[in-house]
Amino acid sequence: MFAINGGASPEIHSNLSLLLRLLSDYFLKSMANNEENLEVELSEIAMSETHGENSPYFVGWKAYNEVPYNESTNPSGIIQMGLAENQVSLDLLQEYLEQNSEAGPDSSEFRETALFQDYHGLLSFRTAMAAFMERIRDGAVKFDPSRVVLTAGATAANELLTIILANPGDALLLPTPYYPGFDRDLRWRTKVKIIPIHCDSSNDFQVTRQALEAAYDSAMAMKIKVRGVFITNPSNPLGLTIQRSTIEEVLDFVTDKNIHLISDEIYSGSVFSSAEFTSVAGVLESRGNKNADRVHIVYGLSKDLGLPGFRVGTIYSYNDRVVTTARRMSSFTLISSQTQRFLAAMLSNQKFIDKYIEMNRDRLRKRYEMIIEGLRMAGIECLKGNAGLFCWMNLRPLLKKNPTREGEIELWKCILKEAKLNISPGSSCHCSEPGWFRVCFANMSEETLQIALKRILSFMERMRNSREDII
Q: How confident is the model over 338-351, as pLDDT tens digits?
A: 899 999 999 999 99
Residues of the chain with pLDDT under 50: 1-4
279 C-beta neighbours (distance < 10 Å), count? 24
- Report, as residue numbers or ranges, the catalytic residues: 179, 264, 266, 303
Instruction: Express each pLDDT in 232-270 by its tens digit.
Output: 999 999 999 999 999 999 999 999 999 999 999 999 999
pLDDT of residue 34: 59
What gap in Å lies between CA 178 and CA 47, rounded to an integer?
A: 24
* 3-class secondary structure, 261: strand
Q: Strand 226-232 relative to strand 260-264: parallel, antiparallel, unpaired?
A: parallel
Sorted by where each begins, the domain ranges of the chain are: 56-89+354-463, 103-349
Contact 279, 140 (CB under 8 A): yes
56-89+354-463: CATH number: 3.90.1150.10
pLDDT of residue 4: 46
pLDDT of residue 1: 44
pLDDT of residue 109: 67
Q: How far is CA 421 from the centre of its chain?
A: 20
pLDDT of residue 50: 84
**Same fold for the domain at 56-89+354-463 and the one at 103-349?**
no
Contact 364, 440 (CB under 8 A): no
DSSP 9-40: -HHHHHHHHHHHHHHHHHHHHHHHHHHHHPPP
pLDDT of residue 63: 92
Contact 337, 117 (CB under 8 A): yes
CATH class, domain 103-349, is: alpha beta
